[in-house]
Chains A and B, each alone.
Chain A
Amino acid sequence: MTNQSNSFFKKLSEGKQEDIILLYQEVFPKIEQFVLHNNGRTGDADDIFQKALLQLIVRYRKEAFEINATFESYFFMVCKNLWRRELNTSKLTTNNLDIIKNVSEDTNTAFSIVEQERYELFTEKLASLSDNCKHILKLFFAKTAYTVIMEKFGYTSENVVRQRIFKCKKRLTTLIKKDSRYTNLKDL
C-alpha cells in the first residue's frame, strides 16, 4: 500500500492535471466535510486542498521523501493541519500576528511547510514511545488535569504523575534532539 502511495506521490509531483483531478475526486469530499464541520465553508476546503497539494509537491521537488501511510490519509492529515493553522491564526498574539499577516504568500507557504515537517517529526517520535508514555503525554499535551491522569492510570499521587510525565517528556525530547531533522527545524 505504501509503495503504491509513494509511486502515486512521485507521479503527482510531476504536476499533471489528470493526477490532480484524480486526487481531488478521491479526497476532496472528506476534506470538505472536515472543514464544514470545523467552522469553515466549501470555498475554504478548496483553498486548503490547493495549499496542501502545493505544499507537498514543493516539498517533494525540493527533497523527495517517502510516506508510511496511504496517500489519501497522509494528504488528509496535511489538510487538517493546514485548517488547524488557519483557525489558530486568530489566536496569535499581536506581535506574532503581524509576522504572519505581513509576510508574503510564499513565506507563509514556506512556514506552513516547515511547520508540517516539525509536526511529522514530533508525531513520529511520540509514536515510538511506550504505550503508557504515549497515552500519558497525549493527556498532558491536551492539558488534562493531573488528578484526572492520576485516577485514569491508578497512580498514588500527583507527584507520581508529574515524575512520570517528566520521564516520558525527557525521552521524547531526547529522541527528537537526536534526529538529524531537528537541527534543521529548530529556531523556526
Chain B
Amino acid sequence: MEDDILIEQFLRNTLSDEEHTSFLARMESDASFKEQVRLEEQLLHTLGDTYWSFATNDTHKRVQAYKKVLGSAETKQLKKTISAAITLYKNREVTTQKPSHIFKLRFILKIAALFVIFFSIFWYFSKDEKIDYASLTTKAWNKQVGLDFTLRSNSSDSIKMSLEKALHFYTHKKYDSTLIVLEKYPISSNQYKDVLLMRALANYKLQRIETTFSTLDSLQTYSPDVANWYKGLIYLSQQNHEKAALYLVIPSEPDQEIKLKK
C-alpha cells in the first residue's frame, strides 16, 4: 500500500525533489519495483483520456519483428495498393457525382413544380375564402349599438322626444338636422350619453372626424363600450385595421363577426 501511494505520487508528479531522487534510485536498484512503476504508468496513460503510452524501445524484439515485416517488399506493395485504392475510390466518386447532381436537380425541379401547383390550388380556393371586411363592417354598423334609447327610456320628457326626432333625422340621412335637434342638452341630463352618441354619429356622417372622436371621447366616460365600439368601426371603415384592433376583435375567419374587445 505504501509503494502504491508512492507510485501514485510519482506519476502525479507530487513527490518532493528529495523523494523523487530517492524514488529513481530505488527504480534503478529494484527491477520488480521498476516494472510495477512502468506498468502503472502505462495503465494511466493508456486507460486515461489525457495521454497515450508511447513505445520508445526500438531494440525490443517485437518492434524489430514488425519492422522486418514492414520493410518487406510485400508490405511496400500493400502501402501502394492502399493508397491507390483510396485514389481510385475518390476518382469514381467524382465521375459518379455528375448523374447524382442531375438527379438532384431533377428532384428539386419536381418539388418546385409540385409546390407551384399546390400554391396555385391553394390560392384559387382561398381567394373565395378571403374575409370581406367591408361587408362585416356594414353588418356591424347595422347593429346600431347604443341606438336603442327609444326602447330603454320610459320618460316622456323633451330629451326623449328630441332623441327620437334626432334618430329619425339620422336614419333619413339628415345629419345636420340631427345635430340641431340635440344642440342644447346639458351634461346633467340622464340621457346625455345618448345625446353624445347621436352627435358623434352625425358628425361622422358629415365627415367631421376630429369632432366625432372628441365626442366619442366624451361618451367614453358614460358608456365606454359604446364609445369603443364606434371608434373601432370608424377605424375599420377607414381600413385602419391596426387601430381598429385596439377596440375590436377583428375576424380571422370569414364566418366570424366583429366583436367588441373587452
Chain A residues with a Cβ under 8 A of chain B: 15-17, 20-21, 24-25, 46, 49-50, 53-54, 57-59, 61-62, 81, 84-85, 87-88, 91-92, 96, 99-100, 103, 106-107, 109-111, 113-115, 117-119, 122-123, 126, 137-138, 141-143, 162-163, 166, 169, 172-173, 176-177, 184-188
In the bound complex, do residue A91 and residue B51 qualify as a contact, i.e. CB atoms below 8 Å apart?
A: yes
Chain B residues with a Cβ under 8 A of chain A: 1, 4-5, 12, 35-36, 38-40, 42-44, 46-58, 60-67, 69-71, 74-75, 77-79, 81-86, 88-89
User: Given A92-B54, A106-B70, A122-B42, is A114 in contact with B86 using a C-beta cutoff of 8 Å?
Assistant: no
In the bound complex, do residue A143 and residue B48 qualify as a contact, i.e. CB atoms below 8 Å apart?
A: yes
In the bound complex, do residue B5 and residue A162 qualify as a contact, i.e. CB atoms below 8 Å apart?
A: yes
In the bound complex, do residue B86 and residue A24 qualify as a contact, i.e. CB atoms below 8 Å apart?
A: yes
Give B1 Cβ to nearest chain A Cβ, in Å. 6
Chain B interface secondary structure, helix, strand, loop or mixed?
Answer: helix
Return chain B residues, CB-CB under 8 Å to A85.
Answer: 52, 54
Among B1, B48, B63, B85, contact of A114 (Cβ-Cβ < 8 Å):
B63
Closest to A91 in B: B51
In the bound complex, do residue B4 and residue A61 qualify as a contact, i.e. CB atoms below 8 Å apart?
A: no
In the bound complex, do residue B86 and residue A142 qualify as a contact, i.e. CB atoms below 8 Å apart?
A: no
Cα–Cα, bound, A141→B86 (Å) = 37
Among B47, B53, B55, B88, contact of A137 (Cβ-Cβ < 8 Å):
B47
Return chain A residues, CB-CB under 8 Å to B85.
Answer: 17, 20-21, 24
